[in-house]
Amino acid sequence: MADRILVFYGSYRSDRMGIRLADYITSGLAQRGADVELIDAKAVDLPMLDRMYKEYPKGSAPAAMEELAEKIRGADAFLFVTGEYNWGVQPGLKNLTDHFLEEWFWRPAAIASYSAGRLSGARSNSAWHATLSEMGMVVISSSLTVGPISETLDAEGVPTGPAGKSLERAFGRFADDLAWWTEAAKTQRGRKAPPY
């Protein structure tokens, strides 16, 4: 059975460029045989966090939140595509992520970051590592850092120039690492129930 992977993207900007990377990754994982779905925080449009999903009485959470909770619970792994805002994480993606907690547990997560500059969102990538670990995910050691995003992927998410070639070389190892941890976590969950 194909690995079920959710790719999360969080920019709310009108001229967002990171969607190129989200599309590239989603397509690349699908070509490798994964059952992959892109979750766009802007399209889901959860409200600013007031109550977490678990704080709603059963069956009373907003429809978009209920649907997303079901998708998260059914996933084998997660991949977060994040830009860097003032050395930090994107508020839209962080807001979406914070609505859930136990739904994330015991699955691997990978991080791909980007920026308009040469540092490729590395500081956001590092910040997400600690956040996702705290939320019960096992964050893989491989990561993708892409920048400048406009010189790496065209508007259709196709790699261009030397930066695009570098991304193509890095993607295989990144995806292999996520696949290894996904299989390991699926096997362990099938063998033994999580401790909590």
Q: Which residues contact 30 (CB under 8 A, 6 or more apart)?
A: 36
Note the pLDDT of residue 119: 81
Domain count, the chain: 1
Give the residue numbers spanning the domain of 40. 4-191
Beta-carbon count within 10 A of 68 CB: 23
Q: Give me the CATH number covering residue 165.
A: 3.40.50.360
Cis amide prior to 148 (ω within 30 degrees): yes
| 136 CA to centre of own chain | 14
Question: Looking at residue 121, what is its pLDDT?
Answer: 87
Q: What is the pLDDT of residues 6-59, one digit of tens each?
A: 999 999 999 999 999 999 999 999 999 999 999 999 999 999 999 999 999 999
Q: Are 64 and 45 in contact (CB under 8 A)?
A: yes
Q: Is residue 168 part of a domain?
A: yes
Mean pLDDT of all residues in the chain?
A: 95
Is 35 part of a structural domain of the chain?
Answer: yes
Question: How crowded is residue 125: how many other Cβ atoms within 10 Å of its Cβ?
Answer: 22
Query: Is 45 part of any domain?
Result: yes
Residue 196 lies in a domain: no
Q: Does 184 reside within a domain?
A: yes
Give the DSSP letter of residue 196.
-
Is position 54 within any domain?
yes
Strands, DSSP E only, in the chain? Answer: 4-9, 35-40, 77-83, 108-114, 138-146
170 lies in a domain?
yes
Instruction: Indicate the residue type of 113.
Output: S
Q: Measured between alpha carbons, how far is residue 86 from residues 89, 90, 143 in Å?
A: 8, 9, 20
Answer whether residue 70 is part of any domain.
yes
Q: What is the pLDDT of residues 135-150, one digit of tens each?
A: 999 999 999 999 999 9
pLDDT digits (tens, 9 = 90+) for 144-178: 999 999 999 999 999 999 999 999 999 999 999 99
Which tops the pLDDT comparison, 115 or 118? 115
Q: Please report the pLDDT score of residue 131 as a whole number.
A: 96
